[in-house]
Amino acid sequence: MSEPVVVDAMGGDHGPVETVAGAVRALRELGIPVVLVGRGEGVRAELARHGAVGEIDVVHAEDVVPMSERGAGAVSSTTSSLTVGCDLVRRGQASAFVSAGSTGAVVSCAIRGIGRAPGVLRPALAIALPSVTGGATVLVDAGATSDPTPEMIAQFAVLGASYARLVLGVADPSVGLLSIGSEPGKGNRLTRRAGELLPALPLRFHGNVEGHDVLAGTVDVIVTDGFTGNVVLKNVEGSVRTALALVARSGGVAAEEVRRVARLYDPETHGGAALLGLTGTVVVAHGSSPAATIARACAVAHDLSRDGTTGRAGDRLGAEPVR
């Protein structure tokens, strides 16, 4: 049996109530071995509610990193659930780490506790969004680094292209740089400088793309900074919910068809975003994740770790660093 996925029981808006329930579902319904990390007494109490004491191991971690923590303060505690969970991955006692905690805190602890792949300046969150063409577009960075340098964004593009090859099976992914216009040179200073770096990298650079291209299937990968990417992701989720609610209210489309489309963009379906550029596997789920989303995040983490996807995504950076 493979090493278990370690779940941060204390992360997220709902704490152990949903994370423990999600871990139980991952084990019982999906057959994924899991271990929970957090305050032992409270975690075991939640396991008891599900009749799962003895089914899932618990590793005690006394400290809880608050959802308001942006990142730097998270690494100061050696006994937080984030730090202990990442350490289990680093020591090979877990195959992957799943958390619905503060994204900045998870990223900081993962960098410190697991480590970046060779050549990687900063890891990035990647998520595959379904497009109208029937395929998917990888959005990267979806929220790991709000203020990257142009060199970091260029690396995100390489990581995203590798993810598209390894996970989506796209042989030669096209990469678009998110901007306010498709013409070369459009955008702020950060975007313009990143656009100057991308053509020289080992990827198929399409050029600039705009917000309306995110779900259009224009390119296989859309690269941007983490601030913009996270806004885009949540706008997509909210806009899809709103549009489908209006369609359902009109009565012009069968309710089951509306639900089918809604599921494509539901966090419960994609589980979370993969943190690329580390030597181990980390999946970050929404802070508001219910049990079903946590279970799905465990499945995503299990699959990524089994295939070694997140580590392999940085291979080209180790050979050809961005300068």
pLDDT bin (cut points 50, 70, 90) of residue 7 is very high
pLDDT bin (cut points 50, 70, 90) of residue 323 is low
Residue 314 DSSP SS3: coil
Q: Which two tokens stand for residue 134?
A: 């029937």
DSSP string, 128-180: EEE-TTSSEEEEE-SSS-SS--HHHHHHHHHHHHHHIIIII--SS-EEEEE-S
Bridge-based pairing of strands 5-8 and 34-38 is: parallel
> Pseudo-torsion of CA 178, 286, 305, 175, nearest 10°?
-10
Res 322 pLDDT > 60: no
Q: How many whole angstroms separate alpha carbon 271 and alpha carbon 279? A: 21
Tens of pLDDT, residue by residue over 212-242, are: 999 999 999 999 999 999 999 999 888 888 8
| Cβ–Cβ < 8 Å for 272, 290 | no
What pLDDT score was predicted for residue 317? 61
Average pLDDT over residues 137-161: 95
Listed in sequence order, the residues at least 6 apart from 20 whose beta carbon sits closer than 8 Å to its beta carbon are: 9, 36, 43, 46, 47, 50
Q: How many whole angstroms separate alpha carbon 156 and alpha carbon 2? A: 29
Q: Is residue 141 reached through a cis peptide bond, with omega within 30 degrees of 0 on the bond before it?
A: yes
Phi and psi angles of residue 34, each rounded to the nearest 5 degrees, phi first: -135, 160
What pLDDT score was predicted for residue 284? 94
What pLDDT score was predicted for residue 310? 67
Phi and psi angles of residue 78, each rounded to the nearest 5 degrees, phi first: -90, 0
Domains of the chain: 1-120+277-309+318-323 (3.40.718.10), 122-268 (3.40.718.10)
Q: How many whole angstroms separate alpha carbon 6 and alpha carbon 23? A: 9
Q: Among residues 29, 9, 234, 210, which one has the least CA distance to residue 127?
A: 234
Average pLDDT over residues 40-64: 93
| Cβ–Cβ < 8 Å for 47, 20 | yes
Res 311 pLDDT > 80: no
On average, the pLDDT of the chain sits at: 89
Q: How many whole angstroms separate alpha carbon 5 and alpha carbon 27? A: 10
More confident residue, 104 or 320: 104
Q: How many whole angstroms separate alpha carbon 142 and alpha carbon 229? A: 4
What pLDDT score was predicted for residue 94? 94
| Cβ–Cβ < 8 Å for 298, 5 | yes
